[in-house]
Amino acid sequence: MSAKLLEGKAVAENLKAKIKAEVEALKAKHGKTPKLLALQMCENASSAVYVKAQKKVAEALGIEYELRTVPDSIAQGEAEGLIKSLNNDANVTAVILQLPVPKAIDAKRLVNLIVPEKDAEGMHPQNLGKILLGQYRIGPCTAMAVMELLESTKVNLYGKEAVIVGHSEIVGKPLSLMLLNKFATTTVCHIATGERGILPEHVKQAEVLIVAVGKAGIVKGDWIKPGAIVVDVGINRVGDKIVGDVEFEGASQKASYITPVPGGVGPITTTILMRNTVELFKGQLK
């Protein structure tokens, strides 16, 4: 392997130190701390892991954290009423709706109901719109985590050929705007690119490659341009192993930097959630 490993843990630790210092300074100046409330409507193994991690990171940074669990029989109207009451609760400075939600619940409607000032995940249309305008301090956690990883390489993105594979609302779409804001020449590939059979052509051009599809090994090692930075967002279970969307063995022979899976993007996302929480709190203090 010739590529340097782009590990998320070091980036996350660095960010955490800055956030912790900022929370302490805000408390000293204003006598208040931010409070993140996580609303959970479905208990399952993966969301249990997330909320446990959120609580641990929040408390380590001096951010108050509350997990509010409601029965999964909750009706849409009742859930909407709950979000509205959190919007009006002065003690709660940020809200995250934990996914998944029960089948009868329209999650998008609920996310849009969280006021943008308390939108910890940066998924409210108003907050997403600010990314388009290049005027954002918060954003979708995974996309922001990818930007932190790229920044940690100190490689200037200006004029670079950036290719994103995957155009979801939480990763590919916001990331395309974030990279454009850095003046990268940005291409977004998606299912239709794959169906036309031209994914390799695009990937081979990438000096910066971000893959967020959810299909193990969809990007082959020999497609990687020599010296490319490769950020693999994908998480796939293959047998008893977790692997990414990029064939790691081959890709790491050609890339200059590559994320391991697991251990790349994942460890940073919860820290970004806390940074979003602190940024929202600062906005409320103004």
Which residues form the interface with ligand NAD (CB under 6 A)? 142, 165-168, 170-172, 189-191, 193-194, 199, 212-215, 218, 233-236, 265-266, 269
Provide the minimum distance between the beta carbon of 96 and ligand NAD in the complex, in angstroms, as a whole number: 14
**What is the 8-class DSSP label of residue 246?**
B
Cα(185)–Cα(163) distance, integer angstroms:
8
Q: Where are the beta strands (DSSP E) in 70-207?
A: 94-97, 161-165, 185-189
Q: How far is CA 137 from CA 15, 16, 120, 133, 277, in A?
A: 14, 16, 11, 12, 11
In the bound complex, what is the minimum distance in angstroms from residue 286's beta carbon to ligand NAD? 30
C-alpha to C-alpha distance for 246 and 248, rounded to whole angstroms: 6
Which residue number, 145 or 208, has a Cβ lying nearer to ligand NAD? 145
Q: How far is the CB of 22 from ligand NAD (least distance, A)?
A: 23
Helix (H, G, I), strand (E, B) or coil at 251: helix
Smallest distance from ligand NAD to CB 168, Å: 3
98 or 269: whose CB is closer to ligand NAD? 269
Nearer residue to ligand NAD within complex by CB, 157 or 243 = 243
Q: Whose CA is closest to 214, among 277, 165, 273? A: 165
Task: Please tell me the total number of residues recorded for the chain in this structure.
Answer: 286
Least spacing, CB of residue 93 vs ligand NAD, in Å: 24
Q: Closer CB to ligand NAD, residue 214 or residue 221?
A: 214
Q: Nearest-CB residue to ligand NAD?
A: 194
Q: What is the DSSP letter of 164?
A: E
The nearer residue to ligand NAD, 92 or 206, going by C-beta atoms, is 206
